[in-house]
Structure 1
Amino acid sequence: MRTFQRPAWSRAAVILLLLAGLAGCSSSDHPAEPASAVQSTPRPTASSTAKPALSGETVRDSFGNADFYTTAAGDTLAAVAKAYKLSEAKVAGFNGLQPGTPLVPGTRLRLMPAGPTRGAMGAATGDVNGIPTGYTIEPDDSLAGITYRFNLTDEQLAEANKVPFTYEKGNVFFIRAGRVIQLQKKPVDSRSGTGKEVTNSFGQTVFYTTVDGDSFDSLGYKFRSTTAQILLYNPSLAADQPIPAGTKVRLIPGELKIEGAQGSFTADANGIPLTYTTAPGDTERQIVFRFGVTDLRAANRPSRGTGGAWYEFTDLPAGELAPGQTISVALDRPINNPER
């Protein structure tokens, strides 16, 4: 049985908040849209001597991040840097220039590093516009280094790779040497992603009903599921065929038994799992993944006190549960052990 290892989402959310930034890099180091680009109506200036907004061409990636800017008459390095919330020294450095260097109209400026940087020393591929599309991870790379080099957030990197998140302590989940990762999304139909979602009590989408324009890619980016996973959970679908509108797509293993979650379960009228009976070798991690649970212990909290979950373990360090226990996999229908 093929196993899809995915860390518990609740822990991942906490870990993401604790990410250590690359030394010398911060969120302000990432290029941003100039203020004028997001205002629908220009605001009146306080002085007639105020400089106009940049008028050159900006090249953006699949997430809308500005990666390149082609200068227009009157542009300066300082003005370009300010518009994209970068320091003039950074823009100059990205382009092999000295701060204060006059700009010739039509100059194409990089708004991100030009090559390998600390924490992102591997080889990259790009499209015809220079937008980075793929990257091979090196042994000493870090998430902070990769996102800085390619002008992405960790959330965008996760979306491009159809995974729930990109960081785990020790970089053992996503940042692994030799792995080739995606840096951009493929184009998807603008109609996609508007179908009906059925969520569990943890807020995780268990079923999605497709609309015209939906595809394996659009579902993957929206719900962080690879095509292989969607096909495995939905045997009626075929990789080489479009997904018909009105198809109810399962987005968790559910009825599919996986390694570490081999037991049986009950569900409500909508197919949302409610309880689960553990089998030998089951682990918290895999049960969480199989049923789209974000806090298994909260659904099985003791009826008294503030201790952890009431269920029993056979191997606590490995998170292996004792078999034959019926536990809750629904936050709104917890099972409280009356003996605790």
Structure 2
Amino acid sequence: METQQGTALKRGWEFAIIAVLLSGGLAACSYDAPSPQPVASEVSTPTGSATAAAADVGMRSALGPVLADSFGNADFYTTLPGDTTEMVARSFRLSDAKLAEFNDLGHEGTLATGTRLRLIPAPGPILGAKGTAVVDAKGIPTSYVVAPNDTVGGITYRFGLTDEQLAEANKVSITYEKGGVYFLLAGKHLRLQKNPVGSRSGTGASVNNSFGRTIFYTTVDGDSLDSLGYKFRCNTAQLLQYNPSLAADKPIPAGTTVRLIPGELKIDGARGSFTADAAGIPLTYTTAPGDTEPQVAFRFGATELRSANRPLTGGAGAWYDFTDLSRNELAPGQIISLDQNKPINK
């Protein structure tokens, strides 16, 4: 049985990861995304890393205007008198060959003043990112339509993003991919940038469960459905589903307690009843027919469900019973723990 449960665990948590990425309302939000960065703007000086890079080679850094995306990534640079290809490349951590490739340069050396240089690949399909992109008036890529056989690496390279930034822009926890049918489903529209959010957004109080997942968040001035989505990796549809008092076309008043997991909302694969403590943190759950291990975990943000229901002997796994191991379907009528600090052992 332990070997079967181990197989079910691996399969179940593959499905669990996938569920976070889907844009429906069944998956719980994810958490601890990076703090919002400035929106795309003209920046008069390069980043500190660019200055350090130039210092490494004993030369001044490129100091002209930089056009950055919503994450602060430098996408374009406009040259000043005396700028050279080597200077610009070193300032932005590029090789001379890459800078030349992105801008169809030869061996110019000194660059003409006012030249607008690309710091990301030139527009158009590349290996691993052959789909169609939309750019704004300044040339910043804003959205992308996935093509067959695209890869996460190809997309992030083409648009000058990190995996984490691509995930945040799309309000998912990770850019997990398997077989081109989930995050990189052909024809799917991906966001490449974030909407502007308030400078104070995301600074409210959080209530976490024993797994470190935020269950409730109290809003401050500046919070919005977008800012909460980026911070906690919830799409707008999920937030509205978990919080019927919120509305897509109205601001969120400061002091509003926002639920970030389905919780009281019964979802497919997790339709049983639960108990909670005085703060509303789920404690125990009674399984219902058709429940699955991954969906119970998602409904309550219980990322280590097996740890909270570990057996007293026998090593890894959990004591609870399955009706169908191949589908991770739990036997109904079992009371299981949702708090790893209060495990139920058998």
TM over 0.5: yes
Q: What are the residue-to-residue correspondences of 1:1-340 with 2, within 5 Å? A: 4-6=25-27, 37-38=47-48, 50-114=58-122, 115-337=124-346
Letter of the 1:194 counterpart: T
Query: Hey, what's the Cα distance between the residues in 2 that align with 1:159 and 1:36?
Result: 24
Deviation of 1:172 after TM superposition, in Å, equals 3.2
Q: Deviations over 1:276-320 (max 9, x none)?
A: 111111111111111112121111111113131111111112111
Letter of the 2:304 counterpart: D
Deviation of 1:335 after TM superposition, in Å, equals 1.2
Local SS of the residue matching 1:287: helix
Q: Tell me if the contact between 1:8 and 1:285 (Cα under 8 Å) persists in the aligned partners.
A: no
Q: Deviations over 1:11-38 (max 9, x none)?
A: xxxxxxxxxxxxxxxxxxxxxx9x9622
Local SS of the residue matching 2:326: coil
Q: Deviations over 1:200-238 (max 9, x none)?
A: 111111000001111111111111111111111111111
Query: Hey, what's the Cα distance between the residues in 2 that align with 1:5 and 1:117?
Result: 34
State percent identity of aligned pairs: 63
Query: Hey, what's the Cα distance between the residues in 1 that align with 2:158 and 2:26?
Result: 28
Letter of the 2:25 counterpart: F
Query: Hey, what's the Cα distance between the residues in 2 that align with 1:213 and 1:147?
Result: 29
Deviation of 1:98 after TM superposition, in Å, equals 2.2
Deviation of 1:9 after TM superposition, in Å, equals 7.3
Q: Tell me if the contact between 2:28 and 2:261 (Cα under 8 Å) persists in the aligned partners.
A: no
Q: Which structure is higher in RCO with an 8 Å CA cutoff and minimum separation 6? A: 2
Counterparts in 2 of 1:3 and 1:145: CA distance versus 1, 3 Å: closer
Which consecutive aligned stretches of 4+ in structure 1 deviate over 6 angstroms post-superposition?
Answer: 7-10
Local SS of the residue matching 1:258: coil
Deviation of 1:169 after TM superposition, in Å, equals 3.1
Deviation of 1:4 after TM superposition, in Å, equals 3.1
Structure 2 residues without counterparts, runs of 5 or longer: 1-22, 32-42
Local SS of the residue matching 1:222: helix
Query: Hey, what's the Cα distance between the residues in 2 that align with 1:76 and 1:228?
Result: 49
Letter of the 1:4 counterpart: G
Calculate the TM-score normalised by the size of structure 1. 0.85
Q: Please, which moves more after superposition, 262-271 or 108-117?
A: 108-117
Query: Hey, what's the Cα distance between the residues in 1 that align with 2:189 and 2:240?
Result: 22
CA-based RMSD: 2.6
Q: Tell me if the contact between 2:30 and 2:172 (Cα under 8 Å) persists in the aligned partners.
A: no
Counterparts in 2 of 1:322 and 1:168: CA distance versus 1, 3 Å: farther
Higher helix share: 2
Deviation of 1:168 after TM superposition, in Å, equals 3.4
Query: Hey, what's the Cα distance between the residues in 2 that align with 1:9 and 1:165?
Result: 9
Calculate the TM-score normalised by the size of structure 2. 0.84
Deviation of 1:250 after TM superposition, in Å, equals 0.4
Letter of the 2:245 counterpart: S
Local SS of the residue matching 1:317: helix
Query: Hey, what's the Cα distance between the residues in 2 that align with 1:281 and 1:3?
Result: 19
